[in-house]
Amino acid sequence: MIRGILGDAIKAAPICMTLFSGHVVADAEFDCVMDPAEVVRLATSSGGIIASMEAERGSEVRAGQPVAHLSSQVEEASLKVLETRAANLTAINAQRARLRYLEARLERLRSLNARGLGTLDELQEIEAEAEASRNLLMQSEIEREIAGQELARAKIALETLVLRSPIDGLVTEKARAVGEYLHPESHVVTIVGMDPLHVETFLPVMMYGRIAEGDVASVRPAAPVEGEYQAEVIVVDKVFDVSGGSFGVRLSLSNPDNELPAGHRCVVEFVLKAPG
């Protein structure tokens, strides 16, 4: 679409040649469009009922800021159960106490057996009970570790029900409302990144090699926006458009206070040394 808008302007773009310090310098102007650097349609990996919305169309949001919450009563109840289970040390403490008792009894029987006062059968029986108690203690500790892992997973699942903005930007669309069901394949809001803006333009093939990443150009937005701004070339396409005889160039235009609008026409001026 941008190529169609700018295509005719490429053929008519003026190039003014001036002489400066013995070198030929070209001032080339081309039509351009200022677009958002990022467009995010915020969605979720799991569906759910929208419980609340914290942003409206036109709202400025920061990265990490909650934009919407999905219904989470079931997940919160499950989380409390898992917190109780993960904090429960009853089984572990009971097995530790029994193991201490068996190990103390085993020590006494070994001492008696060494003096010929105990029976071998009783000693072997206590040794078997102590070994079984160790295994039960290990099993209880593993079960508690698993409960902790399940708790961590439940916290992550609960966090996924909070939809947060991944970028600093501006909400341009509110696609769903409170009480609606949000399907996994649908989005709740659209957020655009306004700083920086991407300036998109197309240049004739004859200028290829005279524009490089890191070059600085002047950008003048169309009326009613006034002013001239500096932008840096960040992309020079290496694939030409055969039908239009052009190649794309993208510039990054700083817009810290969101003063410049996105989706607006502009003119970009490159100052280049002529080849040779």
State which amino acid sits at residue 209. G
Supply φ then ψ for residue 237, to 5 degrees: -60, 140
Residue 18 pLDDT > 50, yes or no? Answer: no
Per the domain annotation, does 54 fall within a domain? no
Q: Where are the alpha helices (DSSP H) in the chain?
A: 2-12, 73-87, 90-114, 120-159
Residue ending a domain, choose from 110, 144, 159: 159
Show the 3-state SS of 184-208: CCCEEEEEEEEEEEEEEEEEEHHHC
On whether residue 20 sits in a domain, the answer given is: yes
| Structure token digits, residue 49 | 């009922």
3-state secondary structure of 246: strand
For the stretch 223-244, pLDDT in tens is 999 999 999 999 999 999 888 8
Give tens-digit pLDDT for 245-266: 999 999 999 998 889 999 999 9
Per the domain annotation, does 182 fall within a domain? no
Give helix 90-114 / helix 120-159 axis angle, nearest 10°.
Answer: 160
**Has residue 276 got a pLDDT over 70?**
no
pLDDT at residue 138, rounded to an integer: 93
Where is the domain boundary, 112, 135, 159?
159
The CATH number for 254's domain is 2.40.30.170
Please provide the average confidence, as pLDDT, over all residues in the chain: 86
Same domain, 108 and 141: yes
Q: How many structural domains does the chain have?
A: 2
Instruction: Report residue 105's pLDDT band, with 50, 70 and 90 as the boundaries.
Output: confident
Alpha-carbon gap, residue 124 to 106, rounded angstroms: 9
pTM: 0.71
% residues pLDDT > 90 (the chain): 54
Q: 96 with 43, same domain?
A: no
Domain that holds residue 144: 73-159
Asked if the model's pLDDT at residue 78 lies above 80, the reply is yes
Q: Within this chain, do residues 44 and 78 fall inside the same structural domain, yes or no? A: no
Q: Do the domain assignments include residue 165? A: no
Q: Do 41 and 79 fall into the same domain? A: no
In this structure, the number of other CB atoms found within 10 A of the CB of residue 207 comes to 20
41/82 same-domain check: no
User: 212 and 264, same structural domain?
Assistant: yes
Whether 185 maps to a domain, the answer reads no
Domain check: are 152 and 106 in the same one?
A: yes
Decide if 187 is inside a domain.
no
Please report, in angstroms and rounded to a whole number, the separation of the first and last CA atoms in the chain: 35
Give the per-residue pLDDT at 12.
Answer: 42
Instruction: Report how far residue 153's alpha carbon sits from residue 79's, in angstroms, rounded to the nearest whole number.
Output: 9
- Is the bond preceding residue 196 a cis peptide, omega within 30 degrees? yes
Q: Indicate whether 202 and 269 sit together in one domain.
A: yes
Within-domain flag for 129? yes
Signed CA dihedral, 110, 116, 122, 123: sign only? positive
